[in-house]
Structure 1
Amino acid sequence: MSTLIERTASAYTYPLLIKNLFNAPVVDNPEQEIVYRELRRHDYRAFRRRVCQLAGALQRLGIKAGDTVAVMDYDSHRYLECFFAVPMLGAVLHTVNVRLSPEQILYTIDHAEDDLLLIHADFLPILEAIKGRIDTVKNYILLQDEDSAPASTVAFAGEYEALLEESPTTFDFPEFDENTRATTFYTTGTTGMPKGVYFSHRQLVLHTLGVLAALGTPTSQGRFHQGDVYMPITPMFHVHAWGFPYLATALGIKQVYPGRYAPDTLLELIKDEGVTLSHCVPTILHMLLSHPKIDTIDLSGWKVLIGGAALPQAMCRAALDRGIDIFAGYGMSETCPVLTVAHIGEEDLSADDEVEIRCKTGRPIPLVDLRVVDEELRDVPADGESVGEIVVRAPWLTQGYLKDHRNSETLWRGGYLHTGDVAGMDRKRYVKITDRIKDVIKVGGEWLSSLEVEDILGQHPAVAEVAVIGIVDDKWGERPLALVVPKGDAVPDEKSLVGLVREFIDKGMMSKQALLLKVRLVEEIDKTSVGKINKRVLREKYGQ
């Protein structure tokens, strides 16, 4: 006998569409503000009107369900409007990574088959260089912060604000299947051209609800609630700014968009707008904590979720000393992205134990089935020592790579999404990533975690930044090389750094293979377009 529920013919099934996040009652908080730098502020009433006007403008330009609309902009109120208006039309939003090379940007525009491109005036030189080879885009819309239009050979269909002014302030957004694709963007892969990932309305809504449940339920630490003021410091082109603009809008809270990431601007906005929650990669927070103005700003009460790379314990301590509620999270482009969050679940912890938990990868959030497995997909013991690869199932994972069957099957082999991250899990289900599979250093047949060595070296007072890679060694196969950026005028020497590592070895907290460490001082460490340490480039430059 079937146990499927019986549906009344006139019953409404309520599809999980982005428009139903947008239409949530709390979004009708009409007085709450959305701020763009020092240039613009308006309330949610105006936000609703502008989303409708943008939809009307796009429709007038021929955009229909199934088309793809690309955006090249800084973090702005305009980008937030695109997050809603484009997918609510039934079209696909392609958030273009403006930090890719022009050739990679060209590839992603053509591969995604973009029909229309909204582009900020600052990125016109990129478009001028490639527009003759773009095959699919039919119209361009200019985004600008200045009153006068820049000189350009691009034939624009119009300027953003002018197009909105010409559109009605209401729009009847259609209903369609919740599994309709809503967004596409491209991973910054370490080999070959970027790979496209994609997410449906259903996935984005469930991700929003899952993360809200994870961040809204702690007693205090790391809690995201209706009294917060949100500002992203993760680009909106990168995994929907980790999905947080959807969370913030669903909560109806004040949102602050900083435009181009300039340290002065970010710190001033935090101070002047009362920002209480942000998220970023460690390099961005390092930039802010090292800024001369940092001592003039009270950062107590600022919550910062760190992702994209391991949170170093030295950075965690420095942030805590300033009253920042800092904690780590984990996800990937392929996972929408949030999978875990490092909340403190215990009372009366020592300062060192608290730092250790905040820097862990965290515990899986609701609806995430996360496992740490060996090569046969068998779970490794949750003892805090055994390691394996993180594999995952959740309702919001990309179902493949766009137009790439072979890599999609590799990603999903065995029915789980393979992250490529090596980690251990303890008995309380805290996960700690020890490395990427491709970044583990094999010394004399034994595995050495580059992330753990980096975390130790980062505690040296003369080290501003550090990356550890494996280099070829005739005797050991590989040995660790630390690339160190000195802090100010201090010059850390190899002896003191190896001595620091030895202290952790003597405590049983690091394998003896780390004593083979070599040190090289560098002026800077190569990063990817989203601010992560680019170990592929570092291995190419220094690996021999």
Structure 2
Amino acid sequence: MAVKLISPADEAYNYPLLIKQLLLSAERYAGDNEIVGGNNGQRFSYAEFIERVHRLANVLTEAGVKEGDTVAVLDWDTPRYLECFFAIPMIGAVLHTVNVRLASEQVVYTMNHAQDDLVLVHDDFLPLIAKVQDQLTTVKGYIQLTDEAQAPDAPLEVMGDYESLLAGAMTEFDFPDFDENAIATTFYTTGTTGNPKGVFFSHRQLVLHTLALSATTSMNDNMQLMQASSVYMPITPMFHVHAWGVPYVATMMGLKQVYPGRYEPATLLKLYMTEKVTFSHCVPTILQMVLSSEKAKAIDFSGWQVLIGGSALTEGLAKAALERGIQIYTGYGMSETCPLLSTTWMPLDADSFSMEQQVRTRVQTGKPVPLVNMRIIDDNGRFLPHDGKAMGEVVVRTPWLTQGYLHEPEKSDELWANGWMHTGDVGSIDNSYTLQIRDRIKDVIKTGGEWVSSLDIENLISQHPDIELSAVIGLPDDEWGERPHAVVTVREGAQVDQQAVADFMQKFVDEGHIEKWAIPDTIKVVDEIPRTSVGKVDKKLIRSQLQEG
């Protein structure tokens, strides 16, 4: 029997899923909550914030921005950036969140590739843009972003400074309806080779991701990350996957939000205490940086919930965070997935867990969030069983995945081979639907015919009481094909050498957790482990450095 489709009445409103709809509930739930700028002390009520979004929309249209144009932003994490998250896509333009930590030639590449029309740029990045402006082929104008009471002279011609332009703009803007599949945002993800790749997301995708993320962060009894009383401060750059999409959720819910500007441990810790922050998210290296700072030693972190993503959360870091009072959890995703795919799932009886059980649960990659279909496949594309043992590449389907790489159809076809998005991660899924990422496909170490997970080795090394961070990579070996090698940083005042770490690893061999060939051939103590532009461990650079001796 055929299903009869019901057509809407002529007068019915065909509700498009647009970012402007996320603002509808913001003020009604906010109460006295504020949006705070830690870099310059700005504080806005939600009514003021919404008015500023309207003013910015008028500024942009007066500057000539039209539907389909691309507006680039180079800024630290500020309330201004949050205003851009809304105003730019809400007028039908595309928000390009530029990675300000890329090399100058990559910044130029991404801005030309995205075909940016207008650029909003912070004082700190004006010298860079002034130096390369002749190479920017599509840019028609610039607006200056400043944290000073009066904007300093700019080294290039600008239309004006942000605050002055907003002050002179109309306070209301009639945001139009348009196709919910219109592109709302774009940004660039860096790989191991070649130029950065542009990913993009539609209004519909961002709205659905926001709704799924809001459900995920509140539906687990023992993982209440975002509630009416929560105070949210991102420690993931807003240029990186929209700060994981959390600002959209926090705004929709009317939560108090704190934007720290540039990430400096002293500033983050001060804001954590003065603004009574309850929820943040970051990559492991950033949390380690905060916990290792001198000022952190005297701070009680109980009540702070932190979601870790971007790189694997090791048992050592999880235990260190829990001992300091931080309720820590794992989230999994990637730039191409908007990013959320799965999170830690805390059982109802988790309060009775031992420290060992707590740690083991919190480092798991977790259960897929609502609307995510996740499988693992072998090299031939065949689905593997969810028995917790079989390992294969993680592939996914969900409504908020990028549909491809901007202007790169061949790479888009590879990403979406056989109708599933390929993550490039190797993992296992058990019969309770819990995912555990074992490694990146390119980082799995193939030694003596066996696959060894670099993440598993890092996790074991992290349990050494004097180790802060570790990174393990595989290097070519004439006899074994590849062998693992490690670099580590140690806690302040500790003395650790290669033999001490190898002896510590031997106990895991004796207990049957790993085979003896999983102990790295070299374990090098370093002052700092290289990181990428978004704070992840840079294994590409580590591999190159170790190969060069």
Whole-Å separation in 2 of the counterparts to 1:414 and 1:267: 47
Question: 2:450 corresponds to which letter in structure 1?
Answer: E
Counterpart in the other structure of 1:540:
544
Whole-Å separation in 1 of the counterparts to 2:110 and 2:466: 41
Counterpart in the other structure of 1:7:
8
Question: 2:475 corresponds to which letter in structure 1?
Answer: I
Where does structure 1 differ by over 6 angstroms across 4 or more consecutive aligned residues?
Answer: none
Whole-Å separation in 1 of the counterparts to 2:463 and 2:322: 15
Counterpart in the other structure of 2:354:
350
Q: Could you tell me how far 1:321 is from its partner in structure 2?
A: 1.1
Q: Could you tell me how far 1:500 is from its partner in structure 2?
A: 1.9
Counterpart in the other structure of 1:392:
396
Report Cα offsets for 1:168-207 as digits up to 9, x if no partner. 1111000000000000000022211100000000000000
Whole-Å separation in 1 of the counterparts to 2:296 and 2:495: 23
Say if 2:99 and 2:188, in contact at 8 Å, map to a contact too: yes
Give the TM-score taking structure 1 as reference length: 0.98
Matched, 1:176 2:165: no
Question: 2:13 corresponds to which letter in structure 1?
Answer: Y
Q: More deviation in 415-424 or 491-500?
A: 491-500
Question: 2:68 corresponds to which letter in structure 1?
Answer: G
Whole-Å separation in 1 of the counterparts to 2:161 and 2:519: 60
Q: Could you tell me how far 1:129 is from its partner in structure 2?
A: 1.6
- What is the RMSD computed on CA atoms of the aligned residues? 1.4
Counterpart in the other structure of 2:48:
46
Say if 1:222 and 1:343, in contact at 8 Å, map to a contact too: no
- Select 1:452's aligned residue among 425, 431, 456: 456
Counterpart in the other structure of 2:511:
507
Counterpart in the other structure of 1:378:
382
Whole-Å separation in 1 of the counterparts to 2:214 and 2:380: 34
Say if 2:278 and 2:304, in contact at 8 Å, map to a contact too: yes
Say if 2:306 and 2:327, in contact at 8 Å, map to a contact too: yes
Question: 2:236 corresponds to which letter in structure 1?
Answer: T
Q: More deviation in 473-482 or 227-236?
A: 473-482
Any stretches of 5+ residues in structure 1 without a counterpart? none
Q: Could you tell me how far 1:385 is from its partner in structure 2?
A: 2.4
Q: Could you tell me how far 1:128 is from its partner in structure 2?
A: 1.7
**Equivalent residues in 2 for 1:30-45 (5 A)?**
31-37=32-38, 38-45=40-47
Q: 1:27 to 1:236 in 2, by over 3 A?
A: farther
Whole-Å separation in 2 of the counterparts to 1:381 and 1:95: 39
For the residue of structure 2 that corresponds to 1:162, the secondary structure is helix
Whole-Å separation in 1 of the counterparts to 2:258 and 2:448: 51
Q: Could you tell me how far 1:520 is from its partner in structure 2?
A: 1.6
Q: Could you tell me how far 1:27 is from its partner in structure 2?
A: 4.8
Question: 2:91 corresponds to which letter in structure 1?
Answer: L
- Select 1:522's aligned residue among 512, 526, 529: 526
- Select 1:285's aligned residue among 281, 284, 287: 287
Counterpart in the other structure of 1:257:
259
- Select 1:479's aligned residue among 471, 480, 483: 483
Q: 1:516 to 1:468 in 2, by over 3 A?
A: closer
Whole-Å separation in 2 of the counterparts to 1:357 and 1:28: 33
Q: More deviation in 105-114 or 29-38?
A: 29-38
Counterpart in the other structure of 1:83:
85
Counterpart in the other structure of 1:241:
243
Counterpart in the other structure of 1:207:
209
Matched, 1:423 2:427: yes
Q: 1:33 to 1:23 in 2, by over 3 A?
A: same
For the residue of structure 2 that corresponds to 1:452, the secondary structure is helix
Counterpart in the other structure of 1:496:
500
Report Cα offsets for 1:89-137 as digits up to 9, x if no partner. 0000000000000100001111000000000001112112211111111
Say if 1:30 and 1:45, in contact at 8 Å, map to a contact too: no
Question: 1:198 corresponds to which letter in structure 2?
Answer: F
Q: More deviation in 315-324 or 392-401?
A: 315-324
Any stretches of 5+ residues in structure 2 without a counterpart? none
Q: More deviation in 521-530 or 204-213?
A: 521-530
Matched, 1:20 2:21: yes
Q: Could you tell me how far 1:384 is from its partner in structure 2?
A: 2.1
Report Cα offsets for 1:398-419 as digits up to 9, x if no partner. 0000000010000000100000
Whole-Å separation in 2 of the counterparts to 1:515 and 1:95: 41
For the residue of structure 1 that corresponds to 2:186, the secondary structure is strand
Whole-Å separation in 1 of the counterparts to 2:223 and 2:230: 13
Whole-Å separation in 1 of the counterparts to 2:364 and 2:224: 14
For the residue of structure 1 that corresponds to 2:519, the secondary structure is helix
Say if 1:102 and 1:129, in contact at 8 Å, map to a contact too: no
Q: Could you tell me how far 1:338 is from its partner in structure 2?
A: 0.5
Whole-Å separation in 1 of the counterparts to 2:333 and 2:300: 30
Q: 1:53 to 1:498 in 2, by over 3 A?
A: same
Give the length in aligned residue pairs.
Answer: 544
For the residue of structure 2 that corresponds to 1:489, the secondary structure is coil
Q: Could you tell me how far 1:222 is from its partner in structure 2?
A: 4.3
Q: Could you tell me how far 1:377 is from its partner in structure 2?
A: 2.4
Whole-Å separation in 2 of the counterparts to 1:241 and 1:25: 18
For the residue of structure 2 that corresponds to 1:98, the secondary structure is coil
For the residue of structure 2 that corresponds to 1:216, the secondary structure is coil
Whole-Å separation in 2 of the counterparts to 1:139 and 1:16: 30
For the residue of structure 1 that corresponds to 2:469, the secondary structure is strand
- Select 1:138's aligned residue among 134, 140, 147: 140
